A and B are shown apart, each in its own frame.
Chain A
């Protein structure tokens, strides 16, 4: 199998009053059709990593290859077109356009690309059926629930059939039922269409829906585990890694202030 995403020796340094190394010599690959979760504590560099994959940020050193293309070689406009055609995004707070209704939000990537209306309508009805959004297509984002909003965002991320979907804490703003719906939906899409999904998350439950979980800490690779047959045991193993990831043993012992 060919890697759709490869991260080779990527380092990201933020220059500023205080120089901060967000990612340090990170290496990993994601195969086509994989559903990968990236986990790590706050400040571990997850979002920085996602920004680099989504080409809105550039690595200081090393390279990110998406489907064999190095976004750094592309011009600004080509980059935008690349994102528009190759990538799909799902955000924690949905980022739906408030003035557009559900249907319009879903077709947005296609209209930006100037597709024919018939084709757009065909795809919208397909996706709406698939995501169970048919009854709310004409509603505005503030008239639907969080779960429905995230499903709309998923629809928007899928409609242009991207080669890679990037999800940033997709369940961070959802209640447990909606979370479950959304994650099962992502899993289903992944299995059915062989869509590659990279998801950044805090939540071990969310991570347990994936094929593989990658842990990073302070910008460096920490561990990775693969899913087995049972989601329950996979979840347990994720928790085990997380407890190791949690911090230093010394964190708790010191009472002194200096």
Chain B
């Protein structure tokens, strides 16, 4: 038997032990491969939608690799720890440390190569299904299956490197202590639980403070709080797991009336040890889950958002032309042509805009003709306005401005043409943003509108708006390819802060929506991937830990059974032992993300009036169910091992 054969047989004949590690590796490879397949997809690579998302995907993949490195390393270490007795025997028989390292490296390589092959095979088999899911979520056109060497090369190269790095890293962690300790294996008694009271209280206080801040967040301080709160929350969570939990348990244990009750005696004492030992893992688990919750929650509120977005932006495409604009006809021609080529039905309304000075406030007012306005709102299926002679109505630019002006009544004179008017109330829906048409817009009855002949002096020089073209497109979400050049031009002038000098303004709701959506799609990708890998990591990690301490637990449960603990009670004890491992990091993550969502809600109010509460509750419900299923799976395996 050569050394290599020995290593090989070690793996093959110990399938049961290696199975968990192998499965974890296969799943990691599979997730990574499917992701690479998507990233290198010819359609995804070329299409506009992914512009931003594509760059983000690289970033996500780097995060993914880092996370997997950590995860593989962690499970490898737990796995080696479980085998320390075996290593003790080998060293006892005279194996050199060098040879032991080599053994571990060969074994890791065998498992690594095998899981890369199996993972890629499974990944390739499932990628079509995955593409279908992605297509549904992102509402993009079909993604056909394709074959390219790139995803294969990327996956193989990445994971070979990962496994080699992990194998070198993990041999360091084999305890180089006394042989006796190795032979005794994992049956090492738990250390005395030490904790710092200061850190424990600090952890609780910090968390309470961040929660309080999130509840009381306001639009004005949203930005800097969004930068400050997450790291503080992280510190709080870390301290919570390292010190606060142990502190609380120790404190509870002081009361014998609470503590000396049935299984509490056993389970509470175990919690303290368990939390202390796994604090870092719990911390990372809850951090990643929080991230995953946030991503999935934000995205799941997108469906609400689509609907709302249309309500805030009722006009699909807006083209605003100023006095100096010599491209007006050419641009409108081009837009209508593009819409026709794209087979999108549309209704176009042109609104003439007059700018006048109000005698009352000596401010500039933009004036829209009642007739033209009604023509436009009819296409938008909004109510029309009826104005008598001398009457006008405000056209608000936002909900807030509507609230302010709905009860206002102002009598004024349009100075340049001496037209006396009374502005009474406001139109119910905001149609144009302040950016598009200014903050002072009124709709004037047609008779008076015709009296406006003289413009404000300097209309040409100060670049006042002359005409607005409103396109109403039924399938407004599909307009992202219309007027791309104009949009590009707008973006460039914005970037150089020259937008006031441009003789026109162009806004395509479809493009804006698409950009928002693809940004969210990116978050979803990272979220789904992170949570998939996280589920895997957390579950497998708990499994490894259980596996490592199995002999000790077996003996403990035998003792308890002999002392007269019934099988049902033992199952309850196992529950009590497993539930916190599964649900403590989970619970903290849910709590953290709930409060983060409360903060986010304020942001949503800023962008759009959306309540994301319901979708978040549903989403948390589904994820909790998945976690519960996973818990039952692991418990089932564990109980089977204990018998």
A residues lining the B interface (CB < 8 Å): 54, 56, 76-77, 80-85, 87, 89, 91, 95, 97-100, 104, 107-109, 111-112, 114, 117, 120-121, 140-143
Among the listed stretches B256-264, B430-438, B526-534, which one makes contact with chain A, having 4 or more residues with CB under 8 Å of it? B256-264
Query: Contact at A77–B568, with CB atoms within 8 Å?
Result: yes
Docked CA distance A54–B357 (Å): 102
What are the interface flags for B255-276 relative to A under an 8 Å C-beta threshold, 1 for contact and 0 otherwise?
Answer: 0110011111110011011000
User: Looking at the complex, which one of B189, B190, B262 makes contact with A111 (CB distance below 8 Å)?
Assistant: B262
Distance in Å: Cβ of A110 to nearest Cβ of chain B: 8
Chain A residues, CB < 8 A from B190? 98-99, 140, 142
Query: Contact at B563–A84, with CB atoms within 8 Å?
Result: yes
Distance in Å: Cβ of B441 to nearest Cβ of chain A: 72
User: Looking at the complex, which one of A80, A104, A111 makes contact with B564 (CB distance below 8 Å)?
Assistant: A80
Is B192 an interface position by the 8 A CB rule?
yes
Docked CA distance A141–B187 (Å): 13
Docked CA distance A95–B560 (Å): 9
What are the interface flags for B545-581 relative to A under an 8 Å C-beta threshold, 1 for contact and 0 otherwise?
Answer: 0000000100110110111111111000000000000
Distance in Å: Cβ of B568 to nearest Cβ of chain A: 7
Query: Contact at A99–B270, with CB atoms within 8 Å?
Result: yes
Chain A residues, CB < 8 A from B567? 76, 80
Query: Contact at B265–A107, with CB atoms within 8 Å?
Result: yes
Query: Contact at B563–A99, with CB atoms within 8 Å?
Result: no
Query: Contact at B561–A56, with CB atoms within 8 Å?
Result: yes
Query: Contact at B189–A108, with CB atoms within 8 Å?
Result: no
User: Looking at the complex, which one of A81, A91, A120 makes contact with B260 (CB distance below 8 Å)?
Assistant: A120
Query: Contact at B564–A91, with CB atoms within 8 Å?
Result: no
Query: Contact at B564–A83, with CB atoms within 8 Å?
Result: yes
What are the interface flags for B511-531 relative to A under an 8 Å C-beta threshold, 1 for contact and 0 otherwise?
Answer: 000000000000000000000
Docked CA distance A56–B270 (Å): 26
Docked CA distance A158–B636 (Å): 35
Query: Contact at A97–B266, with CB atoms within 8 Å?
Result: yes
Chain B residues, CB < 8 A from A114? 261-262
What are the interface flags for B268-301 relative to A under an 8 Å C-beta threshold, 1 for contact and 0 otherwise?
Answer: 0110110000000000000000000000000000
Given contacts A77-B568, A87-B564, A100-B266, A107 and B260 within 8 Å (CB-CB): yes
From A91, which residue of chain B is reached at the shortest CB distance?
B559
Task: Select the residue from B260, B270, B558, B559 with max chain A CB neighbours within 10 A.
Answer: B260
Query: Contact at A83–B562, with CB atoms within 8 Å?
Result: yes
User: Looking at the complex, which one of A84, A104, A142 makes contact with B565 (CB distance below 8 Å)?
Assistant: A84
Docked CA distance A99–B190 (Å): 7
Query: Contact at B563–A108, with CB atoms within 8 Å?
Result: yes
Docked CA distance A89–B265 (Å): 19
Docked CA distance A63–B264 (Å): 37
Docked CA distance A120–B257 (Å): 11
17 chain-A/chain-B pairs, Cβ below 8 angstroms: A56-B562, A80-B565, A81-B564, A83-B563, A84-B565, A97-B269, A99-B273, A100-B266, A104-B260, A108-B266, A111-B261, A111-B264, A111-B265, A120-B256, A120-B260, A121-B256, A142-B190
Chain A residues, CB < 8 A from B563? 83-84, 89, 108-109, 112
Docked CA distance A80–B190 (Å): 28
What's the tally of chain B residues with a CB closer than 8 Å to chain A?
30
From A88, which residue of chain B is reached at the shortest CB distance?
B563
Given contacts A104-B269, A114-B262, A85 and B564 within 8 Å (CB-CB): yes
B residues lining the A interface (CB < 8 Å): 189-190, 192, 256-257, 260-266, 269-270, 272-273, 552, 555-556, 558-559, 561-569
Distance in Å: Cβ of B254 to nearest Cβ of chain A: 12
Docked CA distance A141–B566 (Å): 25
Query: Contact at A95–B256, with CB atoms within 8 Å?
Result: no
Query: Contact at A140–B192, with CB atoms within 8 Å?
Result: yes
Chain A residues, CB < 8 A from B261? 111, 114
From B552, which residue of chain A is reached at the shortest CB distance?
A98
Nearest first, the 5 A-B pairs at minimum CB distance are: A84-B564, A83-B564, A142-B189, A80-B566, A99-B269
Distance in Å: Cβ of B552 to nearest Cβ of chain A: 7
Distance in Å: Cβ of B218 to nearest Cβ of chain A: 47
User: Looking at the complex, which one of A87, A97, A120, A143 makes contact with B556 (CB distance below 8 Å)?
Assistant: A97
Query: Contact at B189–A141, with CB atoms within 8 Å?
Result: yes
Chain B residues, CB < 8 A from A99? 190, 266, 269-270, 272-273
Docked CA distance A141–B189 (Å): 8
Chain B residues, CB < 8 A from A95? 555-556, 558-559
User: Looking at the complex, which one of B189, B272, B562 makes contact with A98 (CB distance below 8 Å)?
Assistant: B189
From A120, which residue of chain B is reached at the shortest CB distance?
B260
Given contacts A100-B269, A107-B265, A112 and B565 within 8 Å (CB-CB): yes
Chain B residues, CB < 8 A from A143? 192
From A82, which residue of chain B is reached at the shortest CB distance?
B564
Distance in Å: Cβ of B576 to nearest Cβ of chain A: 13
Chain B residues, CB < 8 A from A89? 559, 562-563
Chain A residues, CB < 8 A from B568? 77
Chain B residues, CB < 8 A from A84? 563-565
Docked CA distance A35–B431 (Å): 97
Chain B residues, CB < 8 A from A112? 262-263, 563-565, 569
Docked CA distance A85–B563 (Å): 9
From A81, which residue of chain B is reached at the shortest CB distance?
B564
Given contacts A98-B189, A100-B266, A111 and B561 within 8 Å (CB-CB): no
Docked CA distance A89–B560 (Å): 10
Distance in Å: Cβ of B566 to nearest Cβ of chain A: 4
Distance in Å: Cβ of B379 to nearest Cβ of chain A: 73
User: Looking at the complex, which one of A81, A87, A100 makes contact with B265 (CB distance below 8 Å)?
Assistant: A100
From A114, which residue of chain B is reached at the shortest CB distance?
B262
Docked CA distance A157–B394 (Å): 88
Docked CA distance A85–B566 (Å): 13
Docked CA distance A181–B514 (Å): 82
User: Looking at the complex, which one of A54, A76, A77, A97 makes contact with B562 (CB distance below 8 Å)?
Assistant: A54
Distance in Å: Cβ of A96 to nearest Cβ of chain B: 8
Distance in Å: Cβ of A69 to nearest Cβ of chain B: 14
Query: Contact at B561–A109, with CB atoms within 8 Å?
Result: no
Given contacts A95-B559, A100-B269, A117 and B566 within 8 Å (CB-CB): no
User: Looking at the complex, which one of B256, B272, B273, B558 makes contact with A117 (CB distance below 8 Å)?
Assistant: B256
From A108, which residue of chain B is reached at the shortest CB distance?
B265
Chain B residues, CB < 8 A from A141? 189
From A115, which residue of chain B is reached at the shortest CB distance?
B260
Chain B residues, CB < 8 A from A80? 561, 564-567, 569
Task: Select the residue from A82, A104, A141 with max chain B CB neighbours within 10 A.
Answer: A104
